[in-house]
Amino acid sequence: MTLNVRQTATLVVALSICGLLLVPTNFPALDGDARLTLAVFTLATCAWIGTPIDDTYIALGAGLALTVTGVISSDTLFGTLGDETVWLLICAFVLAAAVRRTGLAGRAAAFLVSGARSVRQLTHLTTAALVVTAFAVPATSGRAALALPVFLALAKVLADRRRLVVMLALLFPTVILLSAVATLIGAGAHLITVNVLFEATGEQIGFTQWLLLGLPLAVASSHLAAEAVLLTMTRHEDRTGPVRITAAQIQEHSEQPVTGPLSTEETRCALLLGTVVVLWCSEPLHQVPPAVVALIGAVVAASPALGTVRLKDALKTVPWSLLLFMAATMAMGVALADSGAAKWLVDGLPNGLSPALFLGVVIAVSTAAHLVLQSRSARSSVLVPLVVVAAVGAGVNPVAAALASTAAAGFCHTLPASAKPVTLFADIPGTPTYTPRDLLRLSAVLAPLTAALVLLFALAVWPLLGVPVLAP
């Protein structure tokens, strides 16, 4: 493997830091486990930033190093794979495979956009449809793959209005990324955040609580972003022209039916998905864990009599690499918290920051972190353990700080390689799409807007929903 200058410099810095950490006389306040944890954590972070090595391979190597050196036990490392959040994600992907096979998403999108009579209506109806997909499909890359055929159909219908097509090409990944915060299964980073919070504070955030806190932010940020995309990517004459899209036009460019009565499979799948979502949202009433509800739904979705997809086909859609990454980084989070390494890292931060200023710094760093760490899960793995410990020391509610960091990290639009959905929609053969300059222009407007919105929610909205700013 040949390393470029940036990668070589990153590794040199990492090795230098690790060398200092492993010398006992340099950091007498740290015990051996904490030094080893910081060395492994530093190496892993620098490898994520500066090398082309697969993120999962790095995470597994870090978890293995912590286990072999005795910082964490093998039960801790392997036990993370059995965590209920991992099972929740697996079962959610099985359910998503059933939805994708029936074509329900295309029907729903056609129903919504066919009601648009203006460009602004089309933009916001498309946004609403994409927000809803957060309940049906886990992870942003899965939602992007599901939405791509819908975009292609719209692009062909609007082929004579090029700037509108480019605007929609940017709207789809933008809303998919920002609306992920609506649900616990919206991104693997959310599950990492929940696990880190539980390990560090004993505070458990369930599906319903996350929905209560995340959905309003997802709706607000998605529609705010829709306006930003519309205003930066189109001209006045583009926005004032009428729009008339019918379901029949979309059907001409779609492989699956988007009109007519629902088939038996579609009806069963819609009822199953609706039941699962209702049970997820009503967890406080029946006390059945979301992972168990998801497992029941996955078993039904893949059953020979009632299902719409074969289990082995559905399991092929599960991103096993992501699950292994999550498990390994959860183990790293446990090591950071239990060894005292995370506390040592944040002890040097300035004291006396007001809660608003502390949250502002956390949100600003998390918003910009995608420029260094392209993996959303990796960003949460690095930032959230430190944010939680720092929040405790600053007198800020660690739940509010972790949620703010995770929500702000959902902004990753600056470069085509910043997120998989952005990459997917940036290069579509035969269809006009956005350029890197378009992304930079949008980011200059959207980054401060979304950061300010997250700060507003952390300071004014979430306290009304049961998450105060100050530590209880």
**Residue 118 pairs with which residues in a beta bridge?**
242
Q: d(Cα 426, Cα 176) in Å, to the nearest integer?
A: 14
pLDDT at 219: 94
> Across the strands, what pairs with 396?
470
- The per-residue pLDDT for range 206-221, each reduced to its tens digit, is 888 899 999 999 999 9
Q: What is the pLDDT of residue 195?
A: 84
Model confidence pLDDT, tens digit, residues 223-269: 999 999 999 888 887 777 777 776 666 666 666 666 667 778 878 88
Unique residue bearing structure tokens 């949008």? 442
- For residue 459, the 8-state DSSP code is I
Residue 280 has pLDDT above 90, yes or no: no
Q: Which of 104, 91, 289, 127 is nearest to 218 (CA)?
A: 127
Identity at 465, one-letter amino acid code: L
Q: What percent of the chain has pLDDT over 90?
A: 15
Given a cut of 80, is residue 22 above it in pLDDT?
no
As to burial, measured by CB atoms within 10 angstroms (0-12 exposed, 13-18 middle, 19+ buried), residue 289 is middle
Residues 358-407: tens digit of each pLDDT: 899 999 999 988 877 777 777 888 888 888 888 887 888 999 999 999 99
d(CA 104, CA 270): 8
Average pLDDT over residues 435-457: 91
423 against 228, higher pLDDT: 228
In this prediction, residue 272 carries a pLDDT of 86
Half-sphere exposure of residue 87: CA atoms within 13 angstroms, side-chain side: 15
Q: How confident is the model at residue 13 (pLDDT cuts 50, 70, 90)?
A: very low
pLDDT of 1 above 60: no
Predicted confidence (pLDDT) per residue in 151-170, tens digit:
887 888 788 888 888 999 99
Mean pLDDT over the full length of the chain:
81
How much of the chain is helix, strand and coil, in % rounded to 5? 75, 0, 25
Band of residue 347 on the pLDDT scale cut at 50, 70, 90:
low
Task: Tell me if 227 sits within 8 A of 122, measured CB to CB.
Answer: no
Position 401 scores a pLDDT of: 92
Virtual CA dihedral for 55, 59, 65, 68, nearest 10 degrees?
-130
pLDDT at 72 over 80: yes
Q: Scanning the structure block, which residue is given the tokens 């049961």?
A: 466
Tell me, what's the pLDDT at 25?
45
Q: What is the mean pLDDT of residues 416-436?
A: 82
| Model confidence pLDDT, tens digit, residues 105-125 | 767 777 777 777 788 888 888
